[in-house]
Amino acid sequence: MERFSTVFLIAGVAFFGVSVFVMAWMPFVHMRDIPYQPLEQVSQEMIPEFAQLAEMFPDAFKRYYPAGVTPVSYAKALRLGRDIYVAEACWHCHSQYVRPVSNESIRFGPVSVAAEYANALEFPQLFGTRRVGPDLIREHGKHTNDWHVAHFWNPPDIAPTSVMPRYPWFYEAAPTEAEPDRYVLNERGIAIITFVQWLGSWLEEYPATLYNLNAAGAR
């Protein structure tokens, strides 16, 4: 009784230790052998959408990514894209894992596995806990670059019921009256679209999902 406060100190730390052992250490040991991919490795295999962005916005691309369509530029865009994804809290409206339940593999694509997250762009992971918009881990190729360019400018233009915010600061210039379809991305715009298009690009083949089952172009 005399040293009751010491009991709390020790018990407090011990219980905490038990929980860290079971809830953190054991999963860590379990998944330790999954090879970790640093950014240099992730960026070796470029997605075609990145090259296409360079074609769509040649001036802006050259200005911000002077190394051209190379793994160096690609790594830079992915890194910045992820930073934006974190800063704008996209991850509080979009999750990044497909669960084996609730027909999610039909809606989004193959169920997520741990190995997909052992890389520099999921560090810390971006699992997310809320889906206001759809899951994004199988986003690669689901929409064209054009679609994304118009979507980030003002989502309700594309999906009238969308509650996704607009991101005009991803653009160098606003479309004008004369050219309503002419959007020019800036560095951040190129980066976020590269990052979103990268998600799921590691799958061997493009999955059959609700998106391509519903007549193409439905969304």
Taking the C-alpha atoms of residue 143 and residue 139, their distance in angstroms, rounded to an integer, is 8
Residue 43 as a binder of other proteins (CB under 8 A): the answer is: no
Considering only CA atoms, give the Rg of the chain: 21
Residues 62-101 vs other proteins: string with x where CB under 8 A?
--------------------xxx-xxxxxxxx-x-x-xxx
Structure tokens at 95: 């999750």
Here the contacts of 205-208 (C-beta below 8 Å, separation 24 or greater) are: 206/140, 206/141, 207/109, 207/110, 207/138
Q: Are 136 and 128 in contact (CB under 8 A)?
A: no
Between 6 and 103, CB nearer to ligand HEC: 103
Contacts of residue 214, Cβ cutoff 8 Å, sequence gap at least 6: none
Q: Which of residues 166-205 bind other proteins (CB under 8 A)?
A: 166-169
The residue with its CB nearest to ligand HEC is 133
**Rounded least distance, CB 52 to other proteins, Å:** 25
Could you say which of other proteins, ligand HEC, none residue 67 binds, taking C-beta under 5 to 8 angstroms by partner kind? none
**Rounded least distance, CB 159 to other proteins, Å:** 6
**Rounded least distance, CB 103 to ligand HEC, Å:** 16
